[in-house]
Amino acid sequence: MNKTQFIVALAFILLSFNTTFAQYGYGNGYGNGYGGGGMGRNSMSQINQMDQTPSKPKEIPVEVTVSKIMEKLKPELNLDELQTIAIGNVYTDIIRSQTAIMKDEKLGQTEKSNEIKVLFEVNERKVNEYLSEEQKIKYKALKEDRGNNKKEKKKKSKKEE
């Protein structure tokens, strides 16, 4: 009896080691002896990563973009509150339209570029409707200055290459 109890106890111990190792991925070819196949800390994060689909970069809300534009324009053009609201609404519409054009898969790159150019022309006309003559001159100068800055940045990046 003593011998059978010893064998049963030994078998129980061996089986419990086997199930313990199985939980941590030992011996199944996946764990590499470090518990990678089991449900350790790293495994849960791997499962969470698998559940998440690769996401696109978060889009900045239109309102945030418009508020940044208006923060720059308002003091430089000396806009009153009515002008700020009206021009902000114009920029909101234009940015939403631009986003829709960029997402349209039916359009080719040149068609998208042409439509965006038209949008910017419409934007300029609508904004100018709300500006005084003095503000129109300042607005035009700001746009030209911004255009020159972009050209300078392109030249610098080409020289660096």
Same structural domain for residues 46 and 71?
Answer: no
Is 74 a member of any domain? yes
Same structural domain for residues 44 and 106?
Answer: no
CA distances, 57 to each of 9, 60, 94, 102 (Å): 58, 9, 21, 15
Domain extent, residue 34, equals 2-51
Domain boundary among 51, 76, 91: 51
Is 130 a member of any domain? yes
The SS3 call for residue 69 is helix
Say if pTM beats, i.e. exceeds, 0.85: no
State the pLDDT confidence band at 62, using cuts at 50, 70 and 90: confident
Identify the pLDDT of residue 9: 73
Same structural domain for residues 68 and 88?
Answer: yes
Mean pLDDT score across all residues of the chain? 76
Count up the domains in the chain and report the number. Answer: 2
Same structural domain for residues 45 and 71?
Answer: no
Distance CA 123, CA 95 (A): 10
Identify the pLDDT of residue 6: 76
